[in-house]
Amino acid sequence: MIQEKSALAPASTRDSRVMARDGSFKIRRIGEERRLGTDFYHFLLVLKWWQFLGIFVVAYLAINLVFALAYFLCGPEGLEGISQTDLSSRYLQDFFFSVQTFATIGYGRLVPVGLAANILVTIEALVGLLAVAVSTGLIFARVSKPTARVAFSDVAVITPVDGVPSLMIRLANRRMNQIVDARASVTLSYEEKTSEGQEYRNLYDLKLERDTSSAFALSWTVVHEITKDSKLHGLTLEQLRARDAIVIVTLVGIDETFNQTVHAK
């Protein structure tokens, strides 16, 4: 029986694996200059919800604080209707006026006076419209993004099937729908050495007894027969550990609800 990765890998190599158990990659890029602004849209899409909402709230408050400071610098006469003249109270009222302008609420108690204040209102109204459009698009993209809820067995089992040792991994669809034209693939990855002695990680696709399912609705056991042509043939558990072996299972199909491609690994 091949246990989960924590049991397969020795302590010295567990943290060096390229892929975590949940299918996420653990990669550290060296020599590549990465700038957040070059792919900020994708960055916001792949964040966890609490991280995305946290950035959203911080950005919202920061924009209003900046505009509140700009209104504050216009002086007490910049906004008509300011009830108190001490600095903290005036800045607080400027902040709430900024919130009303940003969201185009406009209660009417505070009114911009003079050219500078009206220019600020014009700029903030435009920023507010753009911010609402961008945030709405991001939230819709995140909510409407189809995902697969596929459960994988905790262990991969090697056991005889019709007299042939076979690697067996079970998958289950956790949703109450079907994944149409589902295709499963199993890849064996381990470290090898070239004839020159250079170490590298190689990938081998393992041939499955059946790699497609017309309608994946319940469970599916993928089977790889360990024949003489298999890359697992003749390998012991100690050899797999020494080579830092990883078995990668991938499922791709069409979600019948969204009619879009989903995947899980």
User: Taking all residues of the chain, what is their mean pLDDT, rounded to a whole number?
Assistant: 86
Round to whole Å and give the CA distance between 181 and 166. Answer: 24
The percentage of residues in the chain with a pLDDT greater than 90, rounded to a whole number, is 49
Structural domains present in the chain: 5-10+148-264 (2.60.40.1400), 36-144 (1.10.287.70)
Name the band, by pLDDT with cuts 50, 70 and 90, for residue 207. very high
pLDDT (mean) for 230-237: 90
| Predicted confidence (pLDDT) per residue in 92-113, tens digit | 999 999 999 999 887 878 888 9
Give the distance, in angstroms, between the CA of residue 245 and the centroid of all CA atoms in the same chain.
25
Three-class secondary structure of residue 244 per DSSP: coil
Round to whole Å and give the CA distance between 68 and 168. Answer: 63
Name the band, by pLDDT with cuts 50, 70 and 90, for residue 77. confident
Round to whole Å and give the CA distance between 210 and 185. Answer: 10
- The answer to whether the CB of 211 falls within 8 A of the CB of 178 is no
3-state percent breakdown (helix, strand, coil) of the chain, nearest 5:
35, 30, 35
**pLDDT for position 41:** 86
| Predicted confidence (pLDDT) per residue in 121-162, tens digit | 999 999 999 999 999 999 999 988 888 899 999 888 999 998
**pLDDT for position 11:** 39
| Predicted confidence (pLDDT) per residue in 12-59, tens digit | 444 556 667 766 766 677 776 666 666 788 888 888 999 999 999 999
Round to whole Å and give the CA distance between 233 and 33. Answer: 42
Q: Buried b / exposed e across 22-60, counting CB within 10 Å, b at 16+?
A: eeeeeeeeeeeeeeeeeeeeeebeeeeeeebeeeeeeee
pLDDT (mean) for 194-200: 86
Residue 258 makes CB contacts below 8 A (sequence gap 6+) with 144, 146
- The answer to whether the CB of 53 falls within 8 A of the CB of 87 is no
**pLDDT for position 13:** 43
**pLDDT for position 35:** 66
